[in-house]
Amino acid sequence: MAVGTLAGIFMLVIGESHLSLPGYLINPLYEDLTTQGATVHEVGACGASAGDWLKEGPVPCGADRFKGEAVFKGRAATTIPIKRLIADDKPDLVVIIIGDTMASYDNETFPRAWAWQSVTSLTKEIATTKTPCVWVGPPWGNPGGKYFKNDKRVEFMSNFLEKNVAPCTYIDSLKFSKPGQWATLDGQHFNLAGYKSWSQSITEALASIPSVQSLKK
């Protein structure tokens, strides 16, 4: 990928635990996006669903990276209302990386009504600011583990998000690898090699979206 494919685009990236802990997605994604010329502010909140980004609330862990090294906040972390983040940053693009926290892998029944309300509430809030957005769906993991991740539900979750995140553009992370291809630590969170592969794929996908390319400066 040629350097500068995202030149001059200011991206606000919010997400779940994948963006919240050392050795996870937060650092390789920041580095890949900035290498392509983007300015990036990442905010992670462990366990936060889409609707949790409408208000401030405590989370078990979180992180923030903007113009420097990542700051990992542990139990002092909170979600930050998306409209406040957008007002403070004035980004060209909001990137949302949320899926695993809402998939309810350990429940036989998927909470469709709750998930729909949570997702659409966030996208509507972003839409009121007239800021373009991209939603990155969950990747494959390894069946089982601490979070009971399984291929059937992650595929269902990805399809659900694809149908419900408009006006955000959807990036299907399931297309980036085969089931089980990227090794995980616990079924859901990857080792660093997996996160580097996911990061590169996300960066390439963002650079291929015409509406994102139109934001280049």
Domain of residue 176, residue span: 10-206
211 in any annotated domain? no
217 in any annotated domain? no
212 in any annotated domain? no
176 in any annotated domain? yes
**Exposed, middle or buried: residue 136 (CB in 10 Å: 0-12, 13-18, 19+)?**
buried
CATH of the domain at 87: 3.40.50.1110
162 in any annotated domain? yes
Distance separating alpha carbons of residues 172 and 184, to the nearest angstrom: 19
Distance separating alpha carbons of residues 114 and 164, to the nearest angstrom: 13
Confidence (pTM): 0.97
pLDDT digits (tens, 9 = 90+) for 175-205: 999 999 999 999 999 999 999 999 999 999 9
213 in any annotated domain? no
pLDDT digits (tens, 9 = 90+) for 113-162: 999 999 999 999 999 999 999 999 999 999 989 999 999 999 999 999 99
215 in any annotated domain? no
Distance separating alpha carbons of residues 145 and 213, to the nearest angstrom: 39
59 in any annotated domain? yes
